[in-house]
Amino acid sequence: MTQTTYRDALRRALLDAMEADGSVILMGEEVGLYGGAYGVTKGLLDRFGSDRVIDTPISEPAIIGAAIGAAMTGLRPVAELMYVDFAGMVMDQLANQAAKSRYMFGGQISVPMVLRTQGGTGRSAAAQHSQSLEAWMMHTPGLRLAMPGTVSDAYHLLRDAMRQPDPVVFIEHKGLYTMKGEISDAPDALWGQPAIRRQGGDLTIATYSRMLQETLTAAEALAPDIEVEIVDLRCLNPLDDGPLMDSVRRTGRCLIVTEAVTTGSVASEIAARVTEQCFDWLEEPPLRLGGEDIPIPVSPALERASIPDAALIEQVARWLVIREAPSWAA
């Protein structure tokens, strides 16, 4: 296995895919000369040339529209949307064209494209550049959605995304780019399946993206008093929820941890599924722990307070399992 950063794992995935398949192209604002907003595509222009690494005008609808057209005509474009916050500008192209074309044309046309973007907090980028909008994508039939929380998944999930026959929204987290880890020789789980990151019998925590790392830290602090099983959802569409339900049936408790606002969230969907499928096994109702229902503040202190962290996850887990009162309830 190779030690690298999350950012370099993504770059390696793009490089390997472009070397293996001449139909893979990159396009987006500053993906070429500048190397991408967060440096993921640095060096790829020199390697593959401007025919395959295309700097576009500053027009998100044009980028995604062109990517859809390229995918329909036989290419495999990877389009970079600088921030997931700009998804509102491209939802017509994404939700009404990319997601629906294969169904509308009876399978005669497919749209095998990847929309690479990043979201989340951690850089004091404020309300318009710090959101977690994955629920928009998960709600749209025809779109696939992946959100890697490890270095190895950054590589393997992106490689898998570039092989799919349908459009994939691939959301990276801006707070993970410098995280170091190893790229395993094989994926931790198949496309669409969650990965069990830690085994335990007292509580199941379902999570993904950067919250996986916060949850792993919390689980270490909870042991041995409370043994947590961590289910990394990884792919939110398609989502094979079987391993999660098996875990909840063993532990009897489920906490869903996300960075996105809690109302109408991925956490709400997971809580509903757990309730429907595991009701007879539950010792407690499933609990959501997500971001505050507010625009993300620019203040670093307020930004940190608006989302869960390891300390909060630990306190909520203790309350859920052993009814230990959290500090804010004193």
Q: Catalytic residue numbers? A: 129
Token pair for residue 31? 């993906």
CB 133 within 8 A of CB 89: no
CB 232 within 8 A of CB 149: yes
Strands 53-55 and 287-291: unpaired
User: Which long-range contacts does 36-39 make (Cβ < 8 Å, 24+ apart)?
Assistant: 36/80, 37/80, 37/82, 37/83, 37/118, 38/7, 38/118, 38/172, 38/174, 38/177, 39/7, 39/177
What is the torsional sign of CA 4, 7, 136, 297? positive
Q: Letter for the amino acid at 328?
A: W
